Every structure is written in structure tokens, then in C-alpha cells.
Amino acid sequence: MQKQSLWPELVGVWTYRDFIMASVARDFSQRYKRSFLGALWAVLSPLSMILIYTLVFSNLMQGRLFEGSSEYSYSTYLIAGLLPWALFAEMVSRGQMMFLENANLLKKAAFPKLCLPAILIIGALQNFCIVFSVFLLGLLLQGEFRGIVTLTIIPVLAIQILFAAGAALLLATLNVFFRDVMQLTAILLQLTFWLTPIAYAISIIPMSYQWLFGLNPLLPIFGAYQIIMVRGLPPDWWSLAPTLALALALNIFAWVIFKARFNEIVDEL
């Protein structure tokens, strides 16, 4: 394993695609097994969160988004940020456990280890697509659907997934050796959520503190979602370039650490 480069692993992921899809389907069925509402929870859980934030922030944000915003603008702004955030949080929080939860598989089976992040990504995307489809349907019924520009979400989503996958791989590696990682990750996710203008607009933050928010690499991503879904405009692609560069660097770094420590990971497990 230590002598393998990244490319054979990526090719191996495609070779083991049936295994990946079967694992995703099994995980999805087990998640809602013996649940009366089943997959409806994929919609109900984020819906409850949306309702809470709408009740708390709707009055505060009235008229604070941009000139000419409609009565639906804040709800659209909120949902356009919360749904991708739920995807990011799921990938990072579940991803940090992927080696611990698949210890027997890692020790006994010979398969491309990047299959585990692939299963994580596809499974999280599956849930996201269900909820986001409902969101788009709601926009269509309200006459707020933004048309073809909505497709520009796809490259933004790809950058976010790349960033989350790199973070998940790094955290999963560290979590094998340091179990404090789980608690630290939960705190960092909470902090990052409130440092990202999702439930509020950056305009309500005093100018003297806005530089602090500008250090958040996720800010351009969630800003892009909100520009697309609320204003119906394509995002500023150049603003996403630093986040893309950081996501690529994070994945390379995480892969190098994982490859270098793989034998120790297996021993620890």
C-alpha cells in the first residue's frame, strides 16, 4: 500500500464501483430500517432546522439581504446555505469515523482504500439530492426558480465536496490515533457554521470584524450558493479559486499522511 500512487487507487475505485454502490444502498437502507417514516426523515430533519432558523432570524434579516429582495428571499437564502452545510457537516462528521467503523474491512480485505471516501461521498450526496430536489420544487411552485443559472451550482458543489473529502480523510487518519478528534471536530463544525454567513448576511457584521470572516475558506462557497439561488446570478468564479486550491492541497496532504501511516493505522485498529 505504501508504494502505491494515487492514480492506481482512483482507477481501483472505478473497478470496485459495484462494491461501492452496494455499500451505499446498504447504508441507506440500514439508516432508515424499522423507521415508520423511512426516507422521509431525509427531508424532515433539515426542514425542522430550517423552520427554527427562519423563526429566529427572519425579523432580524428583513430587508438586510439586498435591495429589491422579495418576501421569499430570506427563506431561499437560508435554505440555499443550510442544505449544502448539512452535506458538508455529514461528510466531515461521518468521514472521521470511516476507518474505525470499517476496521475489519481494512485489516482483512484487499481493495482500494479510497473506496471508503467514495462510499461516504455518494451516500451523503444521495441524501442531499433528495432534499435539494424538494427545495427546487418549492421554488418552482413559488415562481422563484432561477432557471438555467441553477446549473452553476454543480461546480460549486464539486469544490465543496473536494474540500470536505480532504478534511474527512485527514480527520479519519488522525482519529485512529487520537480519539479527541471527534470532540474537537464537533466544536470546529459549530464554530465554522457561525463563522459562515448561512443564517445571516455578512452585512450585519461590523466592518471591523468582517476580515475575520474573510479567513473562512468556506465563505466563497456558501456565498456562491446564495448568489445563484437568491439573485439568480452566476457566482464570481475567481473568488472560488483560493478555496479550490486549498481543497486540492488538503486532499494531497491527507493522502500523503494516510499512505505514510497506513500500516500503523491497521495495527491500531
Q: What CA–CA distances, in Å, run from 10 to 15, 72, 234, 247, 256?
A: 9, 43, 31, 17, 15
Residue 96 vs residues 25, 90, 180: alpha-carbon distances, Å = 20, 10, 11
Number of domains in the chain: 1
pLDDT at 86: 92
> Where in the sequence is the domain holding 195, given as residue range(s)?
6-268
Q: In whole angstroms, what is the distance from residue 235 CA to residue 85 CA?
A: 18
Give the number of other CB atoms < 10 A from CB of residue 235. 21
| Residue 233: closest CA among 126, 116, 147 | 147
pLDDT score of 1: 40
33 assigned to some structural domain: yes
- What are the pLDDT digits (tens) for 84-99? 999 999 999 999 999 9
pLDDT given at position 63: 53
Q: What is the pLDDT of residue 125?
A: 92
State phi, psi for 36 to the nearest 5 degrees.
-65, -40
**What residue type is assigned to position 102 of the chain?**
N
Report pTM.
Answer: 0.88
Residue 109, pLDDT score: 65
What is residue 161's predicted lDDT score, i.e. its pLDDT?
96
20 exposed, middle or buried (CB, 10 Å; 0-12, 13-18, 19+)? buried
Q: What is the reported pLDDT for 33?
A: 66
Distance CA(173)–CA(261), nearest Å, equals 8
1 lies in some domain: no
What pLDDT shows up at residue 2? Answer: 43
- Please identify which residue in the block is written with the cell numbers 470584524: 209
The residue count of the chain comes to: 269
What pLDDT is recorded for position 160? 97
Q: For residue 265, what pLDDT is reported?
A: 84
Q: Which regions of the chain are under pLDDT 70?
A: 1-6, 32-43, 56-72, 109
- Looking at residue 3, its pLDDT comes to 44
Asked if 168 and 96 touch (Cβ cutoff 8 Å), the reply is: yes
Contact 76, 201 (CB under 8 A): no
The pLDDT value given to residue 163: 97
Confidence (pLDDT) at 127: 86
